Amino acid sequence: MFEDYLKRWQLEPDGKAITTHSSDLVPVLYRGTPAILKIAHTREEQRGSQLMEWWKGKGAARVLKTDETAILLERATSGRSLSVMAREGEDDEATRILCACIAALHGINDSPPLFLLPLENWFSALTGNTPAIAILNEAKQTALDLLSCQQDIRVLHGDIHHGNVLDFEERGWLAIDPKALIGDRYFDYANILCNPDYETAFERGRFQRQLDVIVECAQLDRGTFLQWVLAYCGLSASWSMESGQSAEGALAIAEMARELLAQQPSRGGANTQAW
């Protein structure tokens, strides 16, 4: 599987290969530099590779080589982890790093590429069905309302969490594995509150504390952001149920967002500038 690329791109294997449901990866050395070779098997992964190339290393890992199905990326080797930081007393700092990475990605003002998937399509698992669970019905209606009036349209990573932003040392903390979406910038911040894992997410006071950090760092309207969190958690729960997995964690965070929304004086959207 990798042999053709190893020869063509003059790569040296440098670790054990990894296989996922959507791609095959192997650590390599490229001209003596640590890199990762990834061969995509789905259109979603291929779109993500195209977006990595479009970012040109700004806020994201740098692309060294690419073709229609494979991508060679610079490899993070520091060993520092935002997940470990979040679990071991540096949760606020980990969240600030995630917000800074998102801001760097959103700050690229080149014309967006045509291959991006609109958020309306991404939410189809939630908005295309009528769930029998009350919180999912509320998440669905919230998503439909938000999607109908998106304001600050940006190229979106689509899956920002503690495992998808890595420490590249002198290059800083950079993103990998995007979903390649386009839509309201608020969406990219919502998944932070579900991570690095549900055990951490459910720690007493954690949701509201990290909500405050995100709202301050990203200059978000609190009520609007809570709506996006509710909508995102509904989508995540829908995906889980479709695949036969438990949706309990996502639904619990959706309830947290709903409860705080009920306390908001207004649900008006932020006054932001569209692309």
Q: What is the CATH number of the domain that holds 118?
A: 3.90.1200.10
Phi, psi of 74 (to 5 degrees): -60, 150
Copy the structure tokens of residue 193. Answer: 């509150």
- Residue that is last in its domain, among 43, 74, 105: 74
178: pLDDT strictly greater than 80: yes
Tell me which of 14, 92, 152, 159 is the catalytic residue: 159
Q: How many domains does the structure of the chain reveal?
A: 2
Same domain, 113 and 165: yes
Before 196, cis peptide (omega within 30)?
A: yes
According to DSSP, residue 29 is labeled: E
Is 184 marked active-site? no
Q: Given CA atoms 20, 24, 26, 30 in this order, what sign does their dihedral have? A: negative
Residue 133, pLDDT score = 92
185: pLDDT strictly greater than 90: yes
State the Cα–Cα distance between residues 139 and 269, nearest whole angstrom. 16
Q: Which residues pair with 37 in a beta bridge?
A: 26, 72
- Token look-up 């949760």 returns 91
C-beta of residue 181 within 8 angstroms of C-beta of residue 118: yes
Mark residue 66 as left, alpha or beta (left: phi above 0; alpha: psi -120 to 50; beta: remaining).
Answer: beta
For 38-80, write each residue's pLDDT tens digit.
999 999 999 999 999 999 999 999 999 999 999 999 999 998 9
- Residue that is last in its domain, among 74, 98, 116: 74
Q: What is the CATH number of the domain that holds 9?
A: 3.30.200.20
Residues in the chain: 275
> What is this structure's pTM?
0.94
State the Cα–Cα distance between residues 55 and 207, nearest whole angstrom. 31
SS3 of residue 196 by DSSP: coil
Residue 165, C-beta contacts closer than 8 angstroms, at least 6 positions apart: 82, 97, 98, 101, 173, 174, 175, 176
35: pLDDT strictly greater than 60: yes
Q: Which domain holds residue 179?
A: 82-262
Among the listed residues 115, 112, 110, 100, the one whose alpha carbon sits nearest the alpha carbon of residue 175? 100
